[in-house]
Chains A and B, each alone.
Chain A
Amino acid sequence: MVISLIIGALMIGSVYGMLALGYSLIYSASGLMTFTQGQLLMIGAFLGMQFYKVWGLPFLAAFLLTVLIMFLFGMLLEKCLIRVLLNKGAVSIYIVLSTIGISIILPNLAQALWGSQTIQVPSIFGVTTVKILGVSVQPESLLVIAVGLIAMVLLHLFMTKSRFGISMRAAAMDPLAASSLGINVSLTTGLTWAIAAALAGGIGVLLGPVYGVSTGMGDIIGNKGFAGAVIGGYGNMYGAIAGSLLLGFVETFVAGYITTTYKDFVSFFLLIIVMIFLPRGLFKAKVYDSD
């Protein structure tokens, strides 16, 4: 039972983690909050379904195409909405409001394009279950964990080793100084929104064959990803991953051993406890957060 629970927790924790990474990246790069990650996951899931199921593309192609489109969509979102509002001197609460607006528009858009029914996405693999240490597991769950881990490692390398990633961190720490050194702050901020959207969309494609695709699929997951980011330390990339995995473990083990009725109660109670006693989250150490 423990192994099943661990795999389940890692899987859902990775999903929350990918969303939380997006929340944290955007906050660390620009000090802004977004509430669209769950809905971007949903749009990614629908796009993946369209490419994979409807148009018959190989799953890898559908996945990469969706990630690319979501990347561009994130960039567009920043350029056409967030940047415009910022240039006009809007305070951050208006940015938050505009992202809430987007989070309402996107499900409506998806409903108009694909309808309101849950759409089944065919299994990615030929087998429906694989055995891990004697327990049956959905192969798609393992894929979600693997892709989540790979994305996290790649993002870490990008942020710490690549020239562009270092520029992004510099722009996040001190936009004025970075700008005077020739770093295009607008571009780096745009990139963080693009990466956040790509992460959400990518995990959405992977979730399609596990849960099916529906307009509401990102609502609860988006909230829990946000909670994961806060628990870990909002704006801290590593904290987002740790917080999300912790949340995944807590809710899965609470459901498995204590109560299924109040698993969300316990999870969000944990969030409140962290906010009261550890307002900067579990990861107090500065990594590249802007505060």
Chain B
Amino acid sequence: MKKWLSLILALTLALSLASCGGGNDSGSGSADTSGGIDSSSDANSGEAIKIGLYTPLTGSSALVGTQEQNGVNLAVKQINDAGGINGREVTVIAYDDQFSAEGAVKVVTRLIETDHVNAIVGSMSSGNIMATADMVEEAQILELGCGTSPSWTNCGYQYVFRGTQNSASFNAGIIELMEAMGATRLGTLTASTEWATNGWAAIKPALEDTSIEVVMETDYMAGDTDFSGQVTKLINAGLDAVLIYGGTEELGIICKQLRQNGYEGYIYGPETMSPVEVREVAGDAANDSFFACGYLIPDDIESAANDAERAFLEAYVAEYGEMPISDTAYRGYDSVMLLAEVFRTAKSMEGPDMREALLNVSYTGIGGEFDYSDGSGDGLESCGLYAIQNGKNIPFSSYQK
């Protein structure tokens, strides 16, 4: 019996560890082993430059996390194919943060203490970035986080920067969309996550200066699948606008449940509404929804917004055989390219020198021109307004009532 039990328990443990905390190293073609990276990361040694990545790679947010990882790996591949940084190869050490603060703390500790990475590309989860920010600050490791919550920039961090847009600009965009569509009675359905609650908390006071009345506020636990109570409540409140502030995984289901229970008004959402997954899960129920975001993935390469995006999409399709599904791929890519500029221009690979280099960096990425010179931690300001019509994401200016 003991043998059986041992076997089962060992198998269980192994699988859970593999799914929850497993790291994988990729990017350079010369794979590192997942643990025990050598600790002599001397800046001038000519050894590979190590970029750490932590983001959700399993679980409900695995889609966006793995897309970020794809963007990171693609950028690293391009850098290495072009000869590396000053002749040095770049490698990525990636870990799954399980979309949880404790998972993030665990793997960031490993990146800093064991892997001795030179810089970090942070999670798409702002909560996880906040949970590990103090560790990164203490270790003076330059981090470019891929979350969009306003809560972790403009707050004094010296080494934690954002490799994408701050969603504060998206929140302003959502209000602009509501006003343009003539919204008067608004109901909300907000996920109980740090990013979502802060997002709604930022929008709500700004609505006081508009003619939009907040009639009803509801929320849900991230990971929920049944929203009948909330949906019924919202529908019976006589709304002409519903704002769903939540993750991509739930947005499609909520749109579907709203429409199938008879809601006919407009739906508004944050940047998580842009991935194709929302339209796939919701089907026609996603039509007449509006969102604001920094990057919008076009349906095909030809529809790319600019040359940088077109080049990225061509490379992405060549590498992975399909278009990116989430804009986190863009965020990961831009973050690594930014770091590459920092590696090239920094006086040394020490944290303070790399920080100085980032503050003076000159890089135009897919999202536009990055400028970190004000030291706030934010470097990119751009926000596009979009609508979903006939199952497609289109610029808001093209939307036809």
Contact = CB atoms under 8 A, between A and B. Distances in A.
A66 to B, nearest CB: 19
Contact of B62 (A7, A116, A210): A116
B43 interface: no
A128 B284 contact: yes
Interface string A173-202: 000000000000000000000000000000
A97 to B, nearest CB: 7
A89 B16 CA distance: 26
Given A117-B277, A118-B252, A264 B221 contact: yes
B283 A123 contact: yes
B364 interface: no
A8 B229 contact: yes
A89 B284 CA distance: 55
Interface size, A (range):
35 or more
Contacts of A11: 226, 228
A104 B12 contact: yes
B229 A263 contact: yes
B224 A105 contact: no
Interface string B279-307: 01101110000000000000000000000
A88 B5 CA distance: 10
Given A11-B228, A118-B277, A120-B281, A111 B19 contact: yes
B249 A260 contact: no
B257 interface: yes
B63 A116 contact: yes
Interface in A219-264: 219-221, 251-257, 260-261, 263-264
Interface in A77-114: 81, 84-85, 88-90, 94, 97-98, 100-101, 104-105, 107-108, 111
Contacts of B231: 8
A101 B14 CA distance: 10
B95 to A, nearest CB: 16
A34 to B, nearest CB: 14
B232 to A, nearest CB: 4
A118 B12 CA distance: 24
A215 B61 CA distance: 11
Nearest to B10: A101
Contact of A4 (B221, B225, B226, B232): B232
A257 to B, nearest CB: 8
Contacts of A137: 260-261
A118 B19 contact: no
A134 to B, nearest CB: 10
Contacts of B325: 117
Given A98-B8, A111-B19, A212-B253, A118 B229 contact: no
Contacts of B218: 255, 260
Given A101-B8, A117-B277, 7 more contacts: A89-B1, A101-B11, A116-B62, A138-B260, A207-B225, A216-B60, A255-B233
Interface of A: 1, 4-5, 7-9, 11-12, 81, 84-85, 88-90, 94, 97-98, 100-101, 104-105, 107-108, 111, 116-118, 120, 123, 128-129, 135-138, 207, 210-212, 214-217, 219-221, 251-257, 260-261, 263-264
10 nearest interchain CB pairs?
A255-B229, A8-B228, A136-B262, A101-B12, A116-B62, A88-B1, A260-B218, A138-B260, A4-B232, A1-B236
19 contacts: A1-B235, A4-B236, A12-B228, A101-B12, A105-B11, A116-B63, A118-B252, A120-B281, A128-B283, A128-B285, A129-B262, A136-B260, A136-B262, A211-B225, A251-B229, A254-B229, A256-B232, A256-B233, A260-B230
